[in-house]
Every structure is written in C-alpha cells, then in structure tokens.
C-alpha cells in the first residue's frame, strides 16, 4: 500500500486547504508543510481521521485532485492471498487493457503465466496446457519440442473455407487407432489404414465405387487412378510408369502396350515366363518384325517363322556367338554350320556335314528303324550321276557277318538296273563269299539270268576243290570233276579210207564253245576213244580248226565217229 494518498474534498465547505482546494496528508513520509485556511483551527489530522479512514490508500501520487480521479500509480493488492475478487458475478468489468510485455500470472506459486510480446501475441510458459471442456482431456500445449493438440476423443477442425497447414519441416499425422480418414461433407472419401495387416499401410477409398485419382496441374492432368470398377491401377491416356529414369518405362501408345528402355530389359522369373496372345507373338527390331510365334496351321502344332524378307533366315548361335545352324529360307531347310554337329541323345552320336559330305557318327550302334508297313520302308538312294555308288563298309570286323543283311521272315533281294553286264551285282571279298539258305529244303534262286563264273586258267584250279564249283577254261568243275549241264551228240560217217595224219572235219563241232578233251567224248564205232597228244598217249586229239579231230591211226570206209560234247 502506498505511504500517502490524496482525496478530492470538493464537498467540504470553507476555504480549508490550499488555494487549489486540496488537502494534504500530513501523515507518512511525504507529508507537506502546515497548511493555512479559515479552518486552521482544526488540524489536518482531525479531518483525515473522519474522511480518509473510510478510503483505502490506493493512490500513490503526492496530491489527490479531480484530475487524477480513477488513476493509480502503484500496485493494487488484496489484503490476503486469494482474499478478494476483481469484479463479481453480477458486477463484471468491461474491458481489460494491459501494457506491452504484460504478464498474467496464475497460481500461488506463479506456475502458469501468460506473457504478452509486442507485435507477436501471448505465450503460455513452459509445457503448461490450455485445456478445453473443463478439464485437460482436451488441450493444447508445447512439450518443449512440438506443439500438441490433444483430445481423448475426436478432434474436429472445421474451417469455413480452407484449412492450411504450412510446415517448415514435416507434417506428421500420428493415429494410435491406425486409421487416417479424409471426409467430404461428412462422407468418407479416402482412408489410410496403417494397422489392418502387420507391416502394411493400406490406402483405400472411403466410399465404395469411388476411384482414387492422381493428377498434376491442379487436377487438370490425370496421371493414373486406382480404378474401383476394375480393381486395378489405370494409367491415363498415354501416361507412363517410369523406372529409374525417363528412358525406362511402361506405357500404352493408344494401340499397343510398350515396355521401353535405352538399355537391356531383363525378365526374371522363379518359374515360367509366358507370352500369351490371341493371334501371334512378334519380335521386332526398330519396328520391323523378324520373328513370329504362332499356333500352327495344322491342329496341335506351333509355328516359329521369319515373316519379313529382311530377316529371311532364322540363325541359332551358341554361347561363343558362332553360328550352330539356321533355318535356311532359300532352301527351305535346316542348315548346319560346316563345323557343327546334330547330336543324337548326346555327344556319342551325331550327324554332321562339311558342305560336301554328310556323316552319321556313333560310338554305339546306329539303328535305322521304320514302322511303316509298305515297300521301301527304309530307302537309301544315290541320285547324282553315272559314277555314284552306295557303299556299306566295315573297317575292322573279322567275323563272317561283319556286314549282315538280315530278313527275319522274308527274303533279301539285290536288284541291279545294269543290263547285259555280268557285274551288275558284284559281291567282292578278299577271302570268301557265303550265300546261306535256311536248311536243305531251301534254295538259292537266280531269277531270269544265268550264272557266269570267271574262267580259271588251266592249272589255276583251287588248291582245295572239296565242295567247290568253278570254271576252268570254260569247263564247269565241281569238286575237281567236270560236270556237263547239257550233252550234245554229233555223228560222222567215214565214207573212204582216212590216213592217220589227216584231220577229220566234223560238222557242228566248235572249239570256240569251249569244247576240249575235258568236255567232249569221242566214240569210234561205239568204242570210247582216249584223247592224247600222240599215239603213245591216246587215240585222238583236237586239231586244226574248231571243227577238226585228228586220229592217231587210219580210218576205214563205213567207220562211224560219234562226238558227245558238254556245253
């Protein structure tokens, strides 16, 4: 409380006091000098004891006048802490004006303050809260780091126009319930669900049937949407999904879906990669189709083709980038590289060609099997010219069946088109040739053509003749004995005496038919004559021309000479 006060004494009569109509408190440290006036007989203390006793000394100026009515120059305190109120329930103050930097302090220990900062506003101290609803279940406070708006129920922010959140850093929405819902006029339109599935955040439409649309340029340019009707991601028009840069993307150009990259495109799958098209799968280079995969024109088939003349052949290469084989468009064929092989079941068996010859190689058997039931089921053919041959060759076989032509139930036929040549079918061996029948009831049959055996020179007979048929100077010999497949009988009657040294000419006899002493028998008057070079070794010899026979003794008239020849 101030040490002195001034009171306005306008209602006090007389000329008491100073000329200014004031009275001074002579009490306290600020007492004035003694005053003068008509009531000087009364002391100032007497008057103050009656007047000032009812007035609290709340004014701190040295004088009290009408000019200072309602003004205070010092603090106002209740008599005791929490001992008085400022205004009352039915005696409310109107406005409260506080100076710059004013502090409203609340609490016996001043634990809560509201401090004014010029040009900025008011601040609540420390981490204290401004509560709502009569408690602190809903409040605003600053925890020393962040400003917090807290409620144990919903917090509804309802601006009449826009709601602007302008953060210098991040905007964080922390919902313990797991969901953040965006509404339009009370209707849920977008929900961010953060706890539906552990480890996942789900963004979903709040109203069934709504799409979630992503746009640029204030919504005028749609990029993509989550299409509710198709349950899919729908890119707008020709917009792209880019990967890593603008050069790698997926988009639809209005006609085709395109996957584009200025580097490689790698497709990696744990199982299969399937390309499924209702018509065909095309592979292109710079817009030109070079390979086409399609279902075959025949039922149950598939086709791989090169539909463009620019890429006519289909070339297959190995890891070394060298060509292995190609589908040759010009020849409608599979063309192996000259150094490549077509392996059959493994490296042990292969088919290869050097541009001239084709070679079928195997470290095991080579089996050529046909199951068709018709003539020429297996057909080996050479068709190049008059010098061509077909050769079956065994390099190292030593058995009699090192080359075996075998028929289980039918025959084996060798057919040659070479006419008039005994070598049309030629079996050649360095040792022997065996033609074997099934048993003694079978035959070896030579159809249409006779058997021609090369004539051996006289004395060139085999060293062992047992069981052998051969030709010696035109005579057919079996096991060392001459055989006559057909006999010829010639008769000659002697009409006059005939000297021993003269040849007898027998019509029909021809030495050029191979007739000789081994293949002819000569009888004289029914007596078999013995052939010999002279009279000491025989009765006659073949002499002179092919029709002549010379006896070593003379003949008489009426003698009859009979010649029986073989061949």
Q: Is residue 397 part of a domain?
A: no
Same domain, 78 and 114: no
pLDDT score at 37? 45
Whether residue 430 is contained in a domain is answered as no
Q: Are residues 146 and 68 in the same domain?
A: no
Q: In the prediction, which pLDDT does 121 show?
A: 93
Rounded Cα gap, residues 555 and 499, in angstroms: 7
Q: Which pLDDT score, from 0 to 100, does residue 62 have?
A: 47
> Which run of H or of E encompasses 452?
none
Task: Give the distance, in angstroms, between the CA of residue 428 and the centroid of all CA atoms in the same chain.
Answer: 60
CB 325 within 8 A of CB 317: no
Give domain status of residue 558, yes or no.
yes
pLDDT of 501 over the 90 cut: no
Residue 480, pLDDT > 70, answer: yes
Q: Transcribe 341-398 into DSSP letters.
A: EEESSSTTEEEEE-SS-EEEEESS---------STTSS-----S-TT-------SS--
Mean pLDDT of the chain: 80
Q: Is residue 452 scored above 50 in pLDDT?
A: yes
Are 163 and 124 members of one domain? yes
Q: What is the mean pLDDT of residues 528-532?
A: 88
Output phi, psi for 44, to 5 deg: -60, -35
Q: What are the tens digits of pLDDT across the range 72-117? A: 677 778 889 888 888 899 999 999 999 999 999 999 999 999 999 9
Please report the pLDDT score of residue 56 as a whole number: 38
pLDDT at 331: 85
Nearest Cα neighbor of 416 from 465, 449, 461 is 449
Residue 14 maps to a domain: yes
Residue 103 and residue 69 in one domain: no
Write down the pLDDT at residue 435.
74
pLDDT, one tens digit per residue, over 251-263 is 998 888 889 999 9
Give pLDDT, residue 19. Answer: 43
Question: Does 181 reside within a domain?
Answer: yes
- For residue 46, give the H/E element and its range: helix 44-51
The mean per-residue pLDDT over the stretch 472-488 comes to: 73
Angstrom distance (rounded) from CA 468 to CA 433: 12
**What pLDDT is recorded for position 34?**
44
> Residue 45: enclosing H or E segment and its boundaries?
helix 44-51
> Considering only 162-166, 344-348, 488-492, which range has the smallest mean pLDDT?
488-492
User: Do residues 189 and 215 share a domain?
Assistant: no
| pTM of the complete model | 0.42
- Residue 475 falls inside a structural domain: no
For residue 186, pLDDT over 90 is answered with no
pLDDT at 386: 83
Q: Is the domain of 119 the same as that of 190? A: no
Q: Report yes or no on 145 lying in a domain.
A: yes
How far is 135 from 298, CA to CA, in rounded Å? 85
CB atoms within 10 A of CB 366: 9
Domain that holds residue 513: 484-566
Same domain, 40 and 62: yes
Contact 331, 316 (CB under 8 A): no
Number of domains present in the structure of the chain: 5
Q: What is the layout of strands, in order, in the sheet containing 349-353?
A: 341-343, 349-353, 358-362
- Residues 527, 509 within the same domain: yes
Residues 120 and 75 placed together within one structural domain of the fold? no
534 and 507 together in one domain: yes
Strands (E), 418-530: 455-456, 469-472, 475-478, 481-482, 487-493, 503-505, 520-524, 527-528
């Amino acid at each position: 409380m101030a040490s002195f006060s001034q009171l306005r004494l306008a209602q006090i009569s007389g000329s008491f006091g100073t000329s200014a109509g004031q009275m001074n408190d002579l009490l306290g440290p600020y007492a004035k000098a003694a005053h003068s006036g008509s009531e000087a007989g009364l002391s100032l203390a007497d008057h103050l004891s009656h007047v000032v006793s009812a007035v609290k000394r709340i004014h701190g100026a040295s004088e009290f006048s009408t000019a200072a009515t309602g003004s205070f120059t010092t603090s106002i305190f209740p008599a005791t802490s929490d001992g008085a109120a400022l205004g009352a329930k039915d005696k409310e103050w109107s406005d409260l004006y506080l100076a710059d930097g004013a502090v409203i302090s609340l609490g016996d220990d001043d634990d809560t303050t509201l401090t004014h900062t010029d040009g900025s506003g008011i601040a609540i101290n420390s981490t204290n809260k401004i509560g709502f609803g009569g408690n602190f279940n809903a409040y605003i406070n600053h925890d020393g780091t962040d400003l917090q708006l807290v409620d144990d129920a919903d917090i509804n922010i309802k601006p009449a126009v826009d709601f602007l959140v302008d953060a210098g850093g991040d905007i964080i929405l922390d919902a313990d319930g797991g969901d953040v819902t965006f509404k339009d006029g009370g209707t849920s339109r977008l929900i961010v669900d953060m706890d539906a599935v552990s480890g996942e955040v789900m963004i979903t439409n709040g109203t069934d049937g709504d799409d979630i649309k992503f746009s640029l340029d204030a919504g005028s340019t749609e990029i993509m949407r989550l299409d509710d009707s198709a349950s899919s991601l729908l890119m707008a028009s020709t917009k792209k999904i880019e990967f890593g840069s603008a050069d790698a993307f997926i988009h639809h150009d209005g006609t085709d879906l395109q996957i584009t990259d200025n580097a490689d495109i790698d497709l990696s799958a744990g199982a299969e990669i399937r390309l499924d098209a209702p018509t065909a799968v095309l592979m292109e280079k710079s817009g030109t189709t070079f390979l086409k995969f399609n279902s075959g024109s025949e039922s149950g088939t598939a086709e791989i083709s090169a539909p463009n003349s620019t890429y006519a052949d289909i070339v297959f290469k190995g890891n070394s980038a060298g060509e292995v084989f190609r589908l040759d468009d010009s020849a409608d064929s599979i063309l192996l590289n000259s150094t490549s092989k077509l392996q059959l079941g493994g490296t042990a068996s292969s088919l290869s060609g050097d541009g001239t010859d084709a070679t079928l190689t195997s470290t095991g058997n080579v089996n050529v099997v046909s199951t068709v039931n018709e003539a020429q089921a297996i057909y080996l053919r050479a068709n190049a010219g008059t010098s061509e041959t077909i050769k079956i060759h065994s390099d190292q076989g030593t058995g009699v069946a090192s080359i075996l032509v075998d028929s289980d139930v039918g025959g084996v036929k060798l057919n040659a088109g070479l006419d008039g040549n005994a070598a049309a079918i030629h079996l050649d061996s360095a040792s022997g040739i065996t033609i074997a029948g099934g048993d003694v009831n079978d035959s070896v049959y030579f159809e249409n053509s006779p058997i021609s055996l090369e004539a051996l020179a006289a004395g060139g007979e085999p060293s062992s003749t047992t069981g052998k048929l051969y030709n010696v100077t035109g005579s057919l010999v079996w096991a060392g004995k001459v055989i006559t497949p057909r006999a010829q009988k010639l008769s000659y009657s002697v009409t006059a005496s005939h000297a021993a040294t003269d040849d007898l000419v027998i019509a029909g006899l021809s030495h050029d038919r191979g007739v000789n002493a081994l293949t002819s028998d000569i009888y004289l008057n029914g007596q078999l004559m013995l052939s010999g070079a002279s009279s000491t070794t025989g009765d006659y010899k073949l002499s002179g021309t092919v029709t002549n026979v010379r006896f070593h003794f003379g003949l008489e008239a009426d003698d009859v000479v009979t010649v029986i020849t073989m061949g």
